Amino acid sequence: MKRIIIFASGSGTNAENIIKYFQKRKNAVVTHVFSNNREAKALKRAHALKVKALHFDRSALYDSNEVLNILKDAAPDIIILAGFLWRFPEKITSFFSNKVINIHPALLPKYGGKGMYGHHVHQAVIENKERESGITIHYVNDRYDEGAIIFQAKITIPDESSAKNLAAAIHQLEHKHFPIIIEKLLFAGED
């Protein structure tokens, strides 16, 4: 049984979608949801789905090895960042090399980097009159949104689209593709 750990900072709809997807499978399970935000709905969603939910502070992630040691003990096959807003520390990405992936709500390398998340991304895409947007699933390194791209899915943006409409369309892409790509990564080369 492959083990998945999710990091999320906010509402956790992607985390919930991933948990439910793998609850229907017999080959992988989400064991934990971690959050840097004590009030994150992601933690409540995890509890409701009987998944361990843990909150940590900045010091536990960056100044000590507390989060790293919990991850080592949990032995995940993959770590998923699903709306996790802090830069992931190099000590974790190097220990879990090519096992940490993120989803970004734009077509990287455009609209990535510090501060480019959620509505900030969609607003920038609309203001720049882009004709298309999408999602990027990528490996995580020590720089925001610069890890190797694993998968992208695109949509055409209608002429009168708002950032809110674009966000809803991107969210649908995330829910459709993210669990499937996670599953493919977990079982790559095992055919």
Q: Could you tell me if residue 75 is inside a domain?
A: yes
Residue 115's pLDDT is 87
Q: Could you tell me if residue 39 is inside a domain?
A: yes
Residue 55's pLDDT is 96
Q: Let me know if 21 is exposed, middle or buried by CB neighbors in 10 A (0-12, 13-18, 19+).
A: middle
pLDDT digits (tens, 9 = 90+) for 100-148: 999 999 999 999 988 898 899 999 999 999 999 999 999 999 888 999 9
- How many domains does the chain divide into? 1
Residue 191's pLDDT is 61
pLDDT digits (tens, 9 = 90+) for 70-98: 999 999 999 999 999 999 999 999 999 99
The closest alpha carbon to 6, from 83, 58, 95, belongs to: 83
The sign of the dihedral angle between the CA atoms of 145, 80, 48, 72 is negative
Q: Which residue among 32, 47, 55, 104 is the active-site one?
A: 104
Tell me the CATH number at 8: 3.40.50.170
Q: Could you tell me if residue 44 is inside a domain?
A: yes
pLDDT digits (tens, 9 = 90+) for 27-83: 999 999 999 999 999 999 999 999 999 999 999 999 999 999 999 999 999 999 999
Q: How far apart are CA 93 and CA 87, in angstroms?
A: 11
Structural contact between residues 137 and 181, judged by C-beta atoms closer than 8 angstroms: yes
Structural contact between residues 138 and 148, judged by C-beta atoms closer than 8 angstroms: yes
DSSP helix/strand/coil, 93: helix
Q: Could you tell me if residue 191 is inside a domain?
A: no
| pTM assigned to the model | 0.95
Q: Could you tell me if residue 49 is inside a domain?
A: yes
DSSP helix/strand/coil, 54: strand
Q: Let me know if 58 is exposed, middle or buried by CB neighbors in 10 A (0-12, 13-18, 19+).
A: exposed
Q: Indicate whether 189 pLDDT > 80.
A: no
Give yes or no: 177 in active site: no
Q: How far apart are CA 144 and CA 42, in angstroms?
A: 22
Domain assignment of residue 47, given as a range: 2-186
Q: Could you tell me if residue 109 is inside a domain?
A: yes
161 φ/ψ angles, rounded to the nearest 5 degrees: -70, 145
Q: Could you tell me if residue 127 is inside a domain?
A: yes
Residue 160's pLDDT is 87
The two tokens of residue 130 are 């882009």
